[in-house]
Structure 1
Amino acid sequence: MAMKAARVLHLCFLWLLVSAIFIKSADCRSWKKKLPKPCRNLVLYFHDIIYNGKNAENATSALVSAPQGANLTIMTGNNHFGNLAVFDDPITLDNNLHSPPVGRAQGFYFYDMKNTFSAWLGFTFVLNSTDHKGSITFNGADPILTKYRDISVVGGTGDFLMARGIATISTDSYEGDVYFRLRVNITLYECY
């Protein structure tokens, strides 16, 4: 009886060993999940004009926290580390600031690295044009010096109810610390 139990145990161990070898040698790429085809794609631009103490009439964003202390009109040196800005920027279909807006980009960004330009974004596109009504919400890291950066689409309302996907952003234009324009290529993989 003990001999049979030892043989069964030996066979189980051998089966586990062979199974582990087969699993280990399997091509890992075959296990990757394939993304579904995108269900919607949009390209929009948003224009950010930072308040600098002289442009209150045109400014669409403002520093609300800064290492420079009480002066919230000067971006800090050192890659703007520690600056926090809130914004209410116009969104357009093309890269012209004076084009009719199709909505507003509302949210915040803060510069989060001392050794390079990098920010973290949390914002919503609130769209109210004839083509689209609703909102799309984004968040993620923005390594600004990289030409194309991906951030997550984490939700939406209206025409974009519960949307999920990726937004590839690129800096389309900038003028010092006062103005920048981002091109946002939105690819949605979940649309309802």
Structure 2
Amino acid sequence: MVWNPLLNNTDYFNSVYSAPPPNITFPNPTFFGVTSTFEDPLTIGPSNDSLQIGTAHGFYFFDSLRDFTLFHIFTANITEGDYLGTLDVFGQVREIDPIRYLTVIGGTGDFMLARGLATCTLIELYRGPPGAARWTLFFDLDLYY
């Protein structure tokens, strides 16, 4: 990925993309096999200045030859507020869907053994030059624990 100073947001969001797998010799318009590892803040609101309550750590990879679909695996580590612990989130989403659904598959601390649904809404998407983008997501959780 090419670093773009117009999209530099490393004080808040960090992502590292891999190159496509070397054995792909056919056109790859959906970035099949490309992986991104990330560490992003969890905040109360969409602004960088919003109260940070934790950090999300994980990765996703493009997993379709035909569509822009992403398979996500990440842990939300909540370190501030009334409830503390981690939530593990897992699932496949289509990049273009404004509302995405992921599964909560576990948790620790106050979220011990949590299960449920993470409804993810795209709040903002900015696409820069090829290989550069930034987005803001809102998560609404329905948990059973």
Please give the alpha-carbon distance, in whole angstroms, between the structure 1 residues aligned to 2:56 and 2:81. 17
Match of 1:159 among 110, 119, 140: 110
Q: What root-mean-square deviation, in Å, do the aligned CA atoms of Structure 1 and Structure 2 show?
A: 2.2
Residue of structure 1 in register with 2:140 after alignment: 185
1:54-102 deviation digits (Å, cap 9, x = unpaired) = 4484451111x22287xxxxxxx71332210101100111111221211
The normalised TM-score by structure 2 is 0.81
Please give the alpha-carbon distance, in whole angstroms, between the structure 2 residues aligned to 1:113 and 1:179. 21
Match of 1:82 among 28, 33, 56: 33
Match of 2:3 among 48, 53, 59: 53
After TM superposition, the structure 1 = structure 2 runs for residues 58-77 of structure 1, keeping only pairs within 5 Å, are 58=11, 59-63=13-17, 65-67=18-20
Please give the alpha-carbon distance, in whole angstroms, between the structure 2 residues aligned to 1:127 and 1:102. 6
Kept in 2: contact 1:52–1:178 (CA 8 A): no
Structure with more contact order per residue of length (Cα contacts < 8 Å, sep ≥ 6) = 1
Equivalent pairs: percent with the same residue?
30
Larger Rg over CA atoms? 1
Please give the alpha-carbon distance, in whole angstroms, between the structure 1 residues aligned to 2:108 and 2:46. 25
Question: What residue identity is the alignment partner of 1:187?
Answer: D
1:31-58 deviation digits (Å, cap 9, x = unpaired) = xxxxxxxxxxxxxxxxxxxx74244844
Please give the alpha-carbon distance, in whole angstroms, between the structure 1 residues aligned to 2:94 and 2:14. 22
Unaligned runs of 5+ in 1: 1-50, 70-76
Unaligned runs of 5+ in 2: 23-27
The normalised TM-score by structure 1 is 0.63
